[in-house]
Structure 1
Amino acid sequence: MTTRVRPSNKRCLVIGGSGFLGGHLVEKLLDRGYGVSVFDIRQNYELPNVTFHQGDLCNKQALLSALKDVSLVFHCASPAPGSDNRELFERVNIQGTRTVIQACKEAGVQKMVLTSSASVVYEGKDIKNGKESLPYAKKPIDYYTQTKIKQEKLVLEACDRENGFLTVAIRPHGIFGPRDPQLVPILVDTARRGKMKFIIGNGTNLVDFTYVDNVVHGHILAAEHLKADSPVCGKPYHITNDEPICFWDFMSEILVGLGYPAPRYHLPYLFVYGLALLLWMLALLLSPLISFKPTFTPMRVALAGTYHYYSCERAKEDMSYTPIVTLKEGIKRTVESYPHLRQEE
């Protein structure tokens, strides 16, 4: 029987702790008795007993200052998916992660938990109950995924049992919950502009959406099981709600919960994907002259019209992972947290 880490004796740094996931992680770590510091490019909030360090991921000296007396690092920093800023993804996800690893080793950090993404194995084609043994995507769907693959490889390859630097990667999928700046606000904005009337494909494609508390739970479990004799070392783990749901059913539950009509009309998947591809190529060709961003990119169409859900069996076996908030309850809490986005009567 392995002994558990005593959180009260540990100090951790959450890199990207001002973000959506990072903020929730900081709160839960405090609840569990950890000493917590945050390193981020900006400070979005204040919490008692949390030390904030503002700095750039690529600045090793700034990182070393924040890593003093830290034994555990959670690396959650990443630009949001959907951007076409390749340089930013390269700088943060690859160059920044290299610097983080170097700084951690110099500072004597013992453990590092990376927030990766299940999309590292996704190429826009159906994945049903995907396992971690799936190969990395040879044709990533966007710059975000392309750089997350490189980032995950860097972190897992840095795992060094002999010298006491242990790493693990958590691959969440479809994170949602209160304070999410992406999914719900974008969904509501699209509905308000009258662009959420259509279902892409037949609407039966199952997808994983993961409530933020479950993603946080997976990160902390990984950290507490990360020991030199553990199978967790140097491995990636899918963390989801373990309740695949039809993509459009999930979207409809959020929309209806906030007072908006659910999508009703079906459009053929291949037609919409082809149109999105055409518009994307047109935007690329015209970019020197004019700037416009199509609402539906090929990536978004693929995510909306294909199966992509993942197995959590490895996480269950190696670190006793079980979701702590059901999908139904997670949707309820999320909807209730956005009263300002509710459709006016």
Structure 2
Amino acid sequence: MMWIRCGIAMVLPPRGARKNSLRRPTYAQPRRLGEWAAAYGVRNFIHISSPAVYFDYRHHRDIKEDFVPNRYANYYARSKAAGEDVIQNLALSNPQTHFTILRPQGLFGPHDKVLLPRLLNAMRKHGTLLLPRGGDALVDMTYEENAVHAMWLATQIESTPSGRTFNISNHQPRHLHTLLQHLIDELGVKCKIRSIPYPMLDMMARGMEKIGANSPKEPALTHYGVAKLNFDMTLDTTRAQLELGYHPIVSIDEGIIRTAHWLKDHGRLQNRDRH
């Protein structure tokens, strides 16, 4: 019989996915993969969730893993929470497999298909990034290599309770405008960050969502996306540090530099007029 040590489940919705299309991948697949892992003797199962389960349109700093909002921000957050419940129930009924849940905040790096495409599109089209409060929101980010490092650490330690949840980030909260300006500088493009009142940007986003309600394509702005740019959100990663031994192996600044170099080396800026 083949011996399998570890399984890692990271289920992401396709960009522009609507409510009905999200239900299956974010809820059913964790159960299917977790049951398969337990049935075939996988020793460690790592489930990648999201800090979206914390978001409630308010400022929060140093959020601990046990924080639960009064209501989830949207269907995506609710489905992520449901996926975690599935994994925790599997952990209770399948002691032969050790389950771990990771919540990495703000994943970025080469090959990113969520955050970077939107930023680059705004740079190409307008040469301007409009941010609520001018990007003053304090946020946590996670360079992709650090997330992979956290996954590896989770496979090496089985002393934690099965089904345990861990916040993951770079441990380096920064103001959003600082992070984006660093990326702009490293890319060498002419792009200005401009401030726009949050209520105004939110009104624009709601209008775009209403107009595009019957379209499979996600609008350029969404109510949820604009709110994420407006509110402070940082994670307390003490549990991951103490129980997994997690510490970032790539700094936030180095991660931005590597990402910018990759974008330039792979021609991702070729449609943007250089200045």
TM-score normalized by the length of structure 1: 0.72
Using the TM superposition, give the Cα deviation of residue 310 of structure 1 relative to its aligned residue in structure 2, in angstroms: 0.5
Change in 2 beyond 3 A, CA 1:331/1:132: same
Matched, 1:310 2:235: yes
CA distance in 2, matches of 1:183, 1:242: 19
CA distance in 1, matches of 2:4, 2:18: 32
Report the count of equivalent residues. 270
Residue in structure 2 matched with residue 71 of structure 1 by the alignment: 5
CA distance in 1, matches of 2:43, 2:110: 32
Q: Tell me which amino acid in the other structure corresponds to 1:338.
A: L
Using the TM superposition, give the Cα deviation of residue 90 of structure 1 relative to its aligned residue in structure 2, in angstroms: 1.4
For residue 151 of structure 1, the aligned residue among 83, 88, 111 is 83
> Which one is further off, 319-328 or 196-205?
196-205
Residue in structure 1 matched with residue 163 of structure 2 by the alignment: 234
CA distance in 2, matches of 1:77, 1:126: 27
> Which one is further off, 92-101 or 234-243?
92-101
Using the TM superposition, give the Cα deviation of residue 232 of structure 1 relative to its aligned residue in structure 2, in angstroms: 4.4
Matched, 1:218 2:150: yes
On the 8 A contact 1:199/1:263 being kept in 2, the answer is: no
Residue in structure 1 matched with residue 40 of structure 2 by the alignment: 107
Runs of 4+ in 1 over 4 A off after TM superposition: 290-293
Matched, 1:172 2:104: yes
On the 8 A contact 1:185/1:341 being kept in 2, the answer is: no
Change in 2 beyond 3 A, CA 1:83/1:68: farther
Greater relative CO, 1 or 2 (CA 8 Å, sep 6+) = 2
Q: Tell me which amino acid in the other structure corresponds to 1:133.
A: D
Using the TM superposition, give the Cα deviation of residue 78 of structure 1 relative to its aligned residue in structure 2, in angstroms: 2.2
On the 8 A contact 1:128/1:308 being kept in 2, the answer is: yes
Residue in structure 1 matched with residue 139 of structure 2 by the alignment: 207
For residue 281 of structure 1, the aligned residue among 207, 210, 213 is 210
Q: Tell me which amino acid in the other structure corresponds to 2:63.
A: G
Q: Deviations over 1:55-96 (max 9, x none)?
A: xxxxxxxxxxxx95313111123224x523223321112111
SS at match of 1:236: strand
CA distance in 2, matches of 1:180, 1:292: 19
On the 8 A contact 2:35/2:90 being kept in 1, the answer is: no
Residue in structure 2 matched with residue 299 of structure 1 by the alignment: 224
Using the TM superposition, give the Cα deviation of residue 292 of structure 1 relative to its aligned residue in structure 2, in angstroms: 6.6
Using the TM superposition, give the Cα deviation of residue 202 of structure 1 relative to its aligned residue in structure 2, in angstroms: 4.2
* Percent identical: 23
Change in 2 beyond 3 A, CA 1:197/1:217: closer
Matched, 1:95 2:28: yes
Matched, 1:328 2:253: yes
CA distance in 1, matches of 2:53, 2:191: 30
On the 8 A contact 1:72/1:111 being kept in 2, the answer is: yes
Change in 2 beyond 3 A, CA 1:117/1:134: same
Q: Tell me which amino acid in the other structure corresponds to 1:315.
A: A
Residue in structure 2 matched with residue 86 of structure 1 by the alignment: 19
On the 8 A contact 2:53/2:81 being kept in 1, the answer is: yes
On the 8 A contact 1:258/1:341 being kept in 2, the answer is: no
CA distance in 2, matches of 1:100, 1:162: 13
Matched, 1:341 2:268: yes
Matched, 1:120 2:45: no
CA distance in 2, matches of 1:306, 1:294: 21
Using the TM superposition, give the Cα deviation of residue 157 of structure 1 relative to its aligned residue in structure 2, in angstroms: 2.2
CA distance in 2, matches of 1:163, 1:117: 24
> Which one is further off, 144-153 or 309-318?
144-153
Using the TM superposition, give the Cα deviation of residue 131 of structure 1 relative to its aligned residue in structure 2, in angstroms: 0.8
On the 8 A contact 1:132/1:237 being kept in 2, the answer is: yes
Q: Which has more radius of gyration?
A: 1
Structure 1 unaligned regions, length at least 5: 1-66
Q: Tell me which amino acid in the other structure corresponds to 1:313.
A: T
Q: More helix per residue: 1 or 2?
A: 2
SS at match of 1:114: strand
Compute the RMSD of aligned alpha carbons. 2.2
